[in-house]
Amino acid sequence: MSKTYAIADLHGRFDLLEMALTKIANRAEPPATLVTLGDYVDRGPDSRKVIERLMGNLGHEGWRLTCLKGNHEDIMWQTCRRKVPDCGWWLTNGGGATLISYGQNEGDQADVMVVPEEHLKWIERLPLMHVDKHRIFVHAGVDPNCSLDGQDPQDLLWKIYDDRDEGGHGQGHIVHGHHQHARGPILKKNRTNLDTFAWYTGRLVIAVFDDATPGGPLDILDVQGQPIETLDHPI
């Protein structure tokens, strides 16, 4: 029985990523798929390490890794590619912590040149969706009235579901992050929100899906690190 594991919104918490990978490795039987739902950067302390870990080989035979793009990667990419006038948009969304992870000092004038070209190319290539037989994995959300091929990238990166929205797209169950709930995950009939405000609370969840079975997760695994204010190098 093949399974898919999904995690959301790491926001620079390399420690939580490592704990999640260890927990999955202790349980997963190949073939297994790991889907990361975007927002690897900003706010937390180790954005660079998170990207480098996901860019590299996870070192587990039979694993398939699919990394999706989040709105924070899009903000970072647009800023570093100078698609926007200045760094203000990025900095107000936690980009200062990312620049520090790349070697800038706190208080320095923002210099996007510290971000390696290969990291920006990796971000540029990230897909916005991963679709399997029963589920649609995405950073933020999908428009149920639009075909998957015709989705607006703004919805995929920025959509916020109303709390009463049961989600879904046709017969597909939506798996997303982006909308933080410290007491999550939020489990609806046709969607699962995995954003537990992990960068701040230190609590990250891993959803486990049976690839042959429709619907929501068959299990939720927790990893618990330190809350951000107790780290040695808080942001």
Q: Which range (28-32, 65-69, 164-168, 216-220) has the least confidence?
A: 28-32
What pLDDT shows up at residue 234?
41
Whole-number Cα distances in Å, 118 to 48, 74, 121, 154 = 12, 15, 5, 25
What pLDDT shows up at residue 31?
87
CA 98 from chain center: how many Å? Answer: 15
Q: What is the mean pLDDT of residues 228-234?
A: 66
Q: What is the mean pLDDT of residues 99-126?
A: 96
Is the pLDDT assigned to residue 222 strictly greater than 90?
yes
Q: Which two structure tokens, joined as six digits, stand for 41?
A: 């950067």
- CA distance linking residue 148 with residue 137, whole number of Å: 11
Band of pLDDT at residue 235, cut at 50, 70 and 90: very low
Q: 188, 197, 183, 194: which is closest to 167 by C-alpha?
A: 188
Is the pLDDT assigned to residue 61 strictly greater than 80?
no
Band of pLDDT at residue 59, cut at 50, 70 and 90: low
Sign of CA dihedral 45, 50, 52, 53: positive
CATH number for 3-71+128-230 (one of 3.40.50.1100, 3.60.21.10, 3.40.50.1000, 3.30.56.10): it is: 3.60.21.10
List the chain domain ranges: 3-71+128-230
- CA distance linking residue 37 with residue 159, whole number of Å: 14
Is the pLDDT assigned to residue 159 strictly greater than 50?
yes
- CA distance linking residue 209 with residue 155, whole number of Å: 24
Write down the pTM of the prediction.
0.95
Band of pLDDT at residue 107, cut at 50, 70 and 90: confident
Task: Calculate the average pLDDT of the chain.
Answer: 95
